[in-house]
Each structure stands twice: as structure tokens, then as C-alpha cells.
């Protein structure tokens, strides 16, 4: 008899899809190095804080995953995500006393760099008559703040940055992080703000070389990415506090879809946001509440992540006291 899971599909089918995804994915190039970094980071942050508490650790995912179309990849499918949400949230989590594993898309926004211009190297620095390089006066405060806060977070062991590009790298790394964080139980959190591809080309059915245009229109079959959120919740880190994000462009279906995601993937919270207003407001959906969170427009430079992380930290604290798996 087939046992159907929360997604309405037989558990065996989901297990087989996940197995096939991981088995056919190109192996992570630096998995030993990532494993070592994770081990050290978690060991360091598992030490008691001296007041009977242990530091909480959150994995923040950020930016979009790519879907390669060729094994020797020239072309790929990408998405809009800039990584601003993940990078900014990381700053507020560290401020709230968390250690953060920042799993981010290469080249996307970085924590503590919000107030820098788009091309900091070329815009913040200048060449002097004495043939040295100095920070332009106009950017000196922003550069000083970015460098000192970033260095402090890394040096004190509160920030571990792990980059990904493809959907294959992302899911393999997420699995590594999740299984490493399992030992922290309810003190671990997942804040899944990355925009993860829903469809992909399995490695084995992917063209090896650059697809040729001479062969006419391109007909390509994309397969659905297996629903890993449920596996993360049930198997990889069952005690961790899990928050996923739901993005829609049609506000009318947003809350309904967020509610569905909450139930289907057994998330503790789903943060619902609409593409055009995502920097101003979000709605935090839980099993019994819908909390509207807005940035304070009267405060210059306030961002929606400030009140959002406050709400999340408060709920995580309650969960640590009384985990209700
Ligand atoms: O990365 P960003 O700041 O440009 O955008 C953030 C976001 C919209 C990608 C994030 O808030 C989100 O909703 N992530 C999940 C997207 C999804 O539904 O797949």
C-alpha cells in the first residue's frame, strides 16, 4: 500500500525523486572543505554562553539558483533575486545574537554592504598623487562601517559565508548544512529566502556541449525539482525552526499560497511577499496568525527586515522554550 505524504504524493515516489536528484547531480567540488568549515563553525557556536544558554544558529539562504542547460555550461536559466533580503536579514540576526550560515548566490548582495554604491571598488576609492590608493571622503563613513562590521562578525565567529550558483550546488549544500545543524535541535533555524528553481534539466539528460542554434527551435524538457522542504523538516533537521518564503506577483493568491506552503511543508512560518512591494511590507503566516510587517517609512534607512527579524526571533524564543514539532 502506498503511504501518501502531506504533498499528496506517495512517500516512496518523493524519496525516489530525491535520490535520483542527488545521485545524478555533479558532485560538489569542495565538499570536504565545506564540511570542515561547517564543523568548526558549529562547534565554536555550540559552546555555552556562560548563562546556561547556547548561541542559536540560523542558516539564511539568499539569491537565486541557476539551472544549467549544458554540462559545459554556456547558457542557464536564472531568476530575479538580488539577495538583498538574505544579506540584510543576516545583519539583523547577528545583531540579535545569532550565528549565521549565509548560503548565498555568488555575486549577489552581501551583508554589511547595503550602504555602498553598486561598484564599490571603482566608486569608493581614488588614486592619489603619491601613487597610493585612498577612500574618497564622500564614502569614508560607509566603507569604514562595512569593513569593520563585516570583519567583526567573521572574526568573532558569527558569520560563515558559503556560495552556490546552480540548483545542484544549492540543494547539496543545504542538505549538508541541515544535517550538520541537526545536533543543535530547536536552537537551529532555517530562514529560506533564496529563490529556488522549480524546474531543472537532469544532469544525465543534459547536452554536454553548447547547444547549436543551427538545429532550429529548441525543445527541452524540464523536470520538477523534488520538494526538499518537507525532507528538510522531517529528516534532515526535524527539530529546527523553519521559515520559508512565498513570492507571488498576484496579490490575490499570495496568502492562500503561503497558507498552503505552511501546511504542505510543515513550516513554522511562511513569509509572504509580493514582487513590487517586497522591500516595504511582508506578511508572516503561522498556523493561527497573519502578521503584517512594514518598514517604518518615517525613519530614514529603515528596512522591513528590521521588524521582521524581531518578530521571528520572538517566535523562535518561544519555540526553544516549548518545541512543538
Ligand atoms: O533577493 P531579493 O531581496 O531581491 O528578493 C527576496 C525574495 C523575494 C527572493 C524573497 O523574499 C522570497 O520571497 N524568496 C522566495 C521566493 C520563492 O517563492 O521562490
Task: Supply angle C-alpha 105, 41, 304, rounded to 5.
Answer: 50
- Quickly list DSSP for 60-93: EEESB-BEESBSS-S-EE-----SHHHHHHHHHH
CB atoms within 10 A of CB 80: 8
Residue 87: is its pLDDT beyond 80? Answer: yes
pLDDT tier for residue 50 given thresholds of 50, 70 and 90: confident
DSSP 161: E
Kindly state the average pLDDT of the residues 37-54: 88
Q: Is the pLDDT of residue 1 over 60?
A: no
Asked if residue 286 has its Cβ within 6 Å of ligand 1, the reply is no
| pLDDT of 13 | 86
pLDDT band at residue 47 under the 50/70/90 scheme: confident
**pLDDT-above-90 percentage for the chain:** 84
Among residues 226, 234, 227, which one has the least CA distance to residue 179? 234
pLDDT band at 260 (very low <50, low <70, confident <90, very high): very high
Give the CATH number, domain containing residue 316: 3.40.50.10300
245 lines ligand 1 (CB under 6 A): yes
d(CA 143, CA 116): 7
Least confident residue range of 10-24, 190-204, 277-291: 10-24
User: Could you list the residue range(s) of the whole structural domain that residue 232 is in?
Assistant: 11-112+147-321
Task: Write down the pLDDT at residue 117.
Answer: 92
CA 159 vs CA 21, 59, 153, 247: distances in Å = 29, 10, 6, 26
> How do residues 56-83 score in pLDDT, each as one tens digit?
999 999 999 999 999 999 999 999 999 9
In a domain, 203, yes or no: yes
Buried b (16+ CB within 10 A) or exposed e, 183-215: ebebbbbbbbbbbbbeebbeeeebbeeeeeeee
DSSP secondary structure string, 207-276?
Answer: BSSPPPGGG-S---PPEEPP-HHHHIIIII-TTSEEEEEEEES-HHHHHHHHHHHHHHTT-SEEEEEEGG
Q: Half-sphere exposure of residue 122, counting CA atoms within 13 Å on the CB side?
A: 2
Question: With b meaning 16 or more CB within 10 Å and e meaning fewer, what string describes 248-280?
Answer: beeeeebbebbbebbebbbbbbbbbbbeeebee
Mean pLDDT over all residues of the chain?
A: 94
- If pLDDT is split at 50, 70 and 90, which confidence band does 147 have? very high
Is 134 part of any domain? no
Q: What pLDDT, on a 0 to 100 scale, did the predictor assign at position 158?
A: 97
Percent of the chain at pLDDT > 70 equals: 99
| 273 ligand 1 Cβ < 6 A | yes
pLDDT at 152: 96
Averaged pLDDT, 2-8: 74
Asked whether residue 123 is domain-assigned, the answer is: no
Q: Is residue 125 part of a domain?
A: no
Atom of ligand 1 nearest to the CA of 279: 3
Q: What b-and-e string marks burial along 89-101, b requiring 16 or more CB atoms within 10 Å of the CB?
A: bbbbbbebebbbb
Closest residue CA from atom 14 of ligand 1: 193
CA distance 193 to 82: 11
Question: For the chain, how far is it from start to end, CA to CA, in angstroms?
Answer: 27
C-alpha cell at 138: 564622500
pLDDT of residue 2: 63
Burial of 72 (0-12, 13-18, 19+ CB in 10 A): exposed
Is there a domain that residue 15 lies in?
Answer: yes
Closest-CA residue to 278 (of 295, 290, 296, 265)? 295
Strands 241-248 and 269-274, bridge-based pairing: parallel
> What's the complex ipTM?
0.99
pTM: 0.95
Tally Cβ neighbours within 10 Å of residue 70. Answer: 15
Per-residue model confidence as pLDDT tens digits over 191-240:
999 999 999 999 989 999 999 988 889 988 999 999 999 999 999 999 99
- Residue 57 in domain: yes
- Please, are residues 123 and 137 in contact by the beta-carbon 8 Å criterion? no
- Cα 15–chain centre separation: 23
- Ligand 1 centre to CA of 261 (Å) is 15
Average pLDDT over residues 262-273: 97
In a domain, residue 84? The reply is: yes
Average pLDDT, stretch 91-98?
A: 97
Q: Which atom of ligand 1 is nearest to the CA of 282?
A: 11
- pLDDT at 14 (0 to 100): 86
Domains of the chain: total: 1
- How many Å lie between the centroid of ligand 1 and the Cα of residue 72? 28
For residue 54, what pLDDT band results from cuts at 50, 70 and 90? confident
Judging by beta carbons within 10 Å of its beta carbon (0-12, 13-18, 19+), is residue 55 exposed, middle or buried? middle
The answer as to whether 228 is a domain residue is yes
Residue 270 beta carbon below 6 angstroms from any ligand 1 atom: no
Amino acid at each position: 500500500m502506498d503511504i501518501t505524504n502531506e504533498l499528496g504524493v506517495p512517500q516512496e515516489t518523493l524519496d525516489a525523486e530525491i535520490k535520483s536528484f542527488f545521485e545524478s547531480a555533479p558532485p560538489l567540488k569542495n565538499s570536504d572543505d565545506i564540511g570542515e568549515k561547517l564543523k568548526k563553525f558549529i562547534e565554536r557556536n555550540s559552546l555555552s554562553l556562560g548563562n546556561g544558554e547556547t548561541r542559536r544558529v540560523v542558516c539564511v539562504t539568499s539569491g537565486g539558483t541557476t539551472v544549467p542547460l549544458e554540462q559545459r555550461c554556456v547558457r542557464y536559466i536564472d531568476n530575479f533575486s538580488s539577495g538583498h533580503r538574505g544579506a540584510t536579514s543576516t545583519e539583523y540576526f547577528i545583531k540579535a545574537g545569532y550565528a549565521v550560515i549565509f548560503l548565498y548566490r555568488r555575486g549577489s548582495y552581501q551583508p554589511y554592504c547595503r550602504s555602498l554604491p553598486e561598484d564599490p571598488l571603482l566608486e569608493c576609492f581614488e588614486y592619489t598623487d603619491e601613487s597610493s590608493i585612498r577612500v574618497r571622503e564622500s564614502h569614508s563613513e560607509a566603507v569604514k562601517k562595512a569593513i569593520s562590521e563585516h570583519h567583526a562578525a567573521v572574526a568573532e565567529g558569527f558569520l560563515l559565508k558559503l556560495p552556490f550558483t546552480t540548483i545542484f550546488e544549492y540543494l547539496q549544500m543545504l542538505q549538508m548544512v541541515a544535517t550538520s545543524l541537526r545536533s543543535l535541535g530547536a536552537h537551529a533555524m532555517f530562514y529560506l529566502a533564496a529563490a529556488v528553481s522549480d524546474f531543472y534539466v537532469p544532469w544525465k539528460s543534459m547536452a554536454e556541449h553548447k547547444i547549436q542554434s543551427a538545429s532550429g527551435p529548441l525543445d527541452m524538457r524540464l523536470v520538477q525539482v523534488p520538494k526538499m522542504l518537507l525532507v528538510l523538516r522531517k529528516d534532515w533537521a526535524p527539530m529546527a525552526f523553519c521559515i520559508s518564503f512565498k513570492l507571488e506577483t498576484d496579490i490575490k493568491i499570495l496568502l492562500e499560497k503561503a497558507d498552503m506552503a505552511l501546511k504542505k511543508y510543515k513550516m513554522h512560518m511562511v513569509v509572504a511577499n509580493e514582487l513590487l512591494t517586497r522591500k516595504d511590507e511582508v506578511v508572516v503566516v503561522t498556523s493561527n496568525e497573519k502578521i503584517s510587517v512594514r518598514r517604518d517609512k518615517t525613519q530614514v534607512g529603515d528596512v522591513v527586515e528590521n521588524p521582521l527579524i524581531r518578530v521571528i526571533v520572538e517566535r523562535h524564543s518561544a519555540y526553544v522554550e516549548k518545541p512543538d514539532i
